[in-house]
Amino acid sequence: MADEFWGRAAHAFEIWCLVKVIESMMGADGDSTYMDAAAWVAAGMGLIGRGSNAFMSGAGKEAASEIREASKEADERAKKFYGFRGREPQTVKTNEILKTVERRGASRVGKSISDCLRTSAWAIYDNEGRLVPFRQGYLSWCQDVVSKVPAMGTQEALAECVNSFARSGLRVVYPSGRTRELWSAMEMNVRDALRKQSNDYNLAQGELFGADGVEVTAHYMCAADHLPYQGREFSKARFERIQDSLDRPIAEGMNCRHSVYPCLLEAGTTYDREKLKEFEESSTRMTGFKLKSGRELNAYEFTQWQRQQENDVRRIKGAMSIMRAGGQSTERLQRALDAKMDRYAEASRKTGIRTRYDRMAAYTFNP
């Protein structure tokens, strides 16, 4: 499954939550009281909690499917090495060690999902611009609307709240106190947990067939710090030294798409020199595209710029959904969206790097 699935799905859920908060205030009128505001919050929290459980269930099923597929691929990859050693291939269906590794990884992935979806770990900006716990912020906005409706009417009273939600979204608060927007936290946490599960399973397979080295996968558009190592095989000791020397260890998250597979060094490599040279040239060629600072981007760096634009487009689409739910105009956001997409298309055309409009598609969550 594409990495961005997790961020896109979580973004759809995040927008759904914020829209439900706004909808709970839409009935405010001149007779509404703070007691009504508290009742809106109680009902809204219940609805959002049920939605969170539904999303968690769906996300868990998707993750379980991805884990099963990764295990099958690892089992198939390992067959060659078992054969080289003259041993019977081991699989998740036949080996208790592999079953245990898969179960442990599935539990870790499940926790990474649930950690992002606990409303007690969420924060939003309240009506005074402070980042506060979700329930507290929810109540502050409801009370703010109640206090303003008699003088402004519901739509005007909602405007500041709607604009705040459209700009800032929901944030997950980590134990360290650091925060990250809900969709971004989900994308990072679940993706990294799934990759760790895959790597742990592959390492377990390597122990079973007697691996004496590792192979790093290779792909187009590779970051400069990993280019010297992709597609190559290393002894275990040498690879540990390489990992210790890198600010971004390979296959350990941090926007790294590589995987590390155990192997037998004498069994032959997967990638030939010509293919690796092609991968390197695709990543390092200069594109002619320059940032405002004047720095020209190479092809890999341009794909990172594209990814930022794709994320921005989804953010704008989400903000427009929130604005519409609150009865506010989306004309300004539509102009920003059109301009961003035009620039994305033109820059991609000039650099010769394909567009990924599929990454701009906004999912819809419906529990």
Domain boundary among 149, 175, 207: 207
Confidence of residue 208 (pLDDT cuts 50, 70, 90): very high
Same domain, 103 and 189: yes
Predicted confidence at residue 2, as pLDDT, reads 57
118 falls within a domain = yes
Q: How far apart, in whole angstroms, are the C-alpha atoms of residue 367 and residue 167?
A: 24
Domain with 199, as residue range(s), is: 1-207
250 falls within a domain = yes
Predicted confidence at residue 195, as pLDDT, reads 87
Predicted confidence at residue 367, as pLDDT, reads 84
Same domain, 180 and 321: no
For residues 86-108, average pLDDT: 95
366 falls within a domain = no
367 falls within a domain = no
For residues 199-211, average pLDDT: 94
Same domain, 327 and 349: yes
Domain boundary among 281, 305, 324: 281
Same domain, 293 and 252: no
Percent share of the chain, pLDDT over 90: 82
Same domain, 146 and 81: yes
pLDDT digits over 40-65, tens only?
A: 999 999 999 999 999 999 999 999 99
Give the type of residue at 282. Answer: S
Strand partners, 296: 290
Predicted confidence at residue 252, as pLDDT, reads 78
Q: Which tokens belong to 363?
A: 């999912």
Same domain, 28 and 139: yes
Residue 24 neighbours by CB under 8 Å, 6+ apart: 40, 41, 43, 44, 142
Same domain, 54 and 174: yes
Domain boundary among 256, 281, 306: 281
The answer to whether 152 touches 160, Cβ cutoff 8 Å, is no
Same domain, 72 and 100: yes
107 falls within a domain = yes
For residues 116-136, average pLDDT: 95
Three-class DSSP category at 227: coil
Residue 31 neighbours by CB under 8 Å, 6+ apart: none
Same domain, 261 and 319: no
Predicted confidence at residue 3, as pLDDT, reads 60
Same domain, 63 and 179: yes
Report the domain count for the chain: 3
pLDDT digits over 225-276, tens only?
A: 999 999 999 999 999 999 999 999 998 766 788 889 999 998 877 888 899 9
Residue 190 has pLDDT above 60, yes or no: yes
For residues 219-224, average pLDDT: 92
363 falls within a domain = no
Task: Quickly tell me which residue has 């390492």 as its tokens.
Answer: 203
The phi-psi region of residue 260 (left if phi > 0; otherwise alpha if psi is between -120 and 50; otherwise beta) is beta
Please state, rounded to an integer, the average pLDDT across all residues of the chain: 93
Residue 1 has pLDDT above 60, yes or no: no
Same domain, 224 and 240: yes
Q: How far apart, in whole angstroms, are the C-alpha atoms of residue 141 and residue 26?
A: 12
Three-class DSSP category at 329: coil
The answer to whether 319 touches 167, Cβ cutoff 8 Å, is yes
Three-class DSSP category at 128: coil
364 falls within a domain = no
Same domain, 177 and 217: no
Give the type of residue at 349. Answer: R
365 falls within a domain = no
Q: How far apart, in whole angstroms, are the C-alpha atoms of residue 27 and residue 75?
A: 57
Residue 212 has pLDDT above 80, yes or no: yes
pLDDT digits over 327-345, tens only?
A: 999 999 999 999 999 999 9
